[in-house]
Structure 1
């Protein structure tokens, strides 16, 4: 029996219980504690409950940081195969697919992420980027706005909304 098979019998979920108060703080643009709330949510999302799966997640993240989309896809694929209920694995692989220019698989993984964690502002922002890249600016704007509603402290998302609003100024969406 392989190492991953040993852990496959255990359900793996991010530690997202009790995050509602953090999401409330994060969504308030005037809340002074938003950065701590964001960090606490990200930290909870990155913990699967399995040391082995967390290691795969960390390796995938490291590959993303190094710009190695292929290695990131491999690590996150192993993670999603063995921990299909861990939203961060799906989102990580979506990011790697996007880096590789594979928008269809990225969008599919974002759908998995949002099914598991509908409040994942990063996945929504990624969806916005994919839709914008594909020329679907109306739906891109909707995705960016949904992301921004959850986390109004994302300058890149704020800029994307302004850019798309300006491009469509005077045009019915």
Structure 2
């Protein structure tokens, strides 16, 4: 990610000002969701509505089609990872999170998701590593800080 705008947003994630961090976070998500223009965004939105309606198979079919059509669309993989996580299919979710990270190494959502998957699978050491990696990108993310503490407690 050599784009100067992306670099500036990443720096803003480390800003002590919460408003700056929140604006940067929203902008990064907007960039990721719109990577493939209106076409990709509309499918992501439809799949989200299907997930919220617990129409998981339909959402998965839609996301599979999008991934087959646009295999470099990191957010499509991430949305499918979320779908699998909601269904407690942690290994599939983890595999998709890893694919997202390969496509977009700064995707703090997918890195956080990896940590959640590892924790759900009982691999607390790997979960801590993922949450720490996410904190490198978003150092003020309290959720990741809390999850590291919880994983450490489970290792004790």
TM-score range, shorter chain: 0.7 to 0.9
Q: How does 1:70-85 map to 2 (within 5 A)?
A: 70-85=57-72
Matched, 1:131 2:92: no
Residues 40, 133 of structure 1: CA spacing in aligned structure 2 closer, same or farther, 3 A cutoff? same
Structure 2: unaligned runs, 5 residues or longer: none
> Which of structure 1's runs of 4+ aligned residues deviate more than 6 A?
none
Checking the alignment, whether the CA contact within 8 Å between 2:36 and 2:73 is kept in structure 1 is no
Report the structure, 1 or 2, having the larger helix content. Answer: 2
Q: CA separation in 2, counterparts of 1:152 and 1:69?
A: 33
Q: CA separation in 1, counterparts of 2:22 and 2:111?
A: 19
CA drift at 1:67: 4.3
Structure 1: unaligned runs, 5 residues or longer: 1-15
Matched, 1:43 2:12: no
Checking the alignment, whether the CA contact within 8 Å between 1:26 and 1:151 is kept in structure 2 is yes
User: What CA deviation, in whole Å up to 9, does each residue of 1:16-74 have, x standing for no partner?
Assistant: 9421100111034x134111011110110110333222211111222334444333222
What SS does structure 2 have at the residue aligned with 1:19? helix
Q: CA RMSD in A?
A: 1.9
The TM-score normalised by the length of structure 2 is 0.87
Q: CA separation in 2, counterparts of 1:44 and 1:105?
A: 25
Matched, 1:104 2:88: no
What SS does structure 1 have at the residue aligned with 2:22? helix
Q: CA separation in 1, counterparts of 2:149 and 2:54?
A: 28
Q: Which has the larger radius of gyration?
A: 1
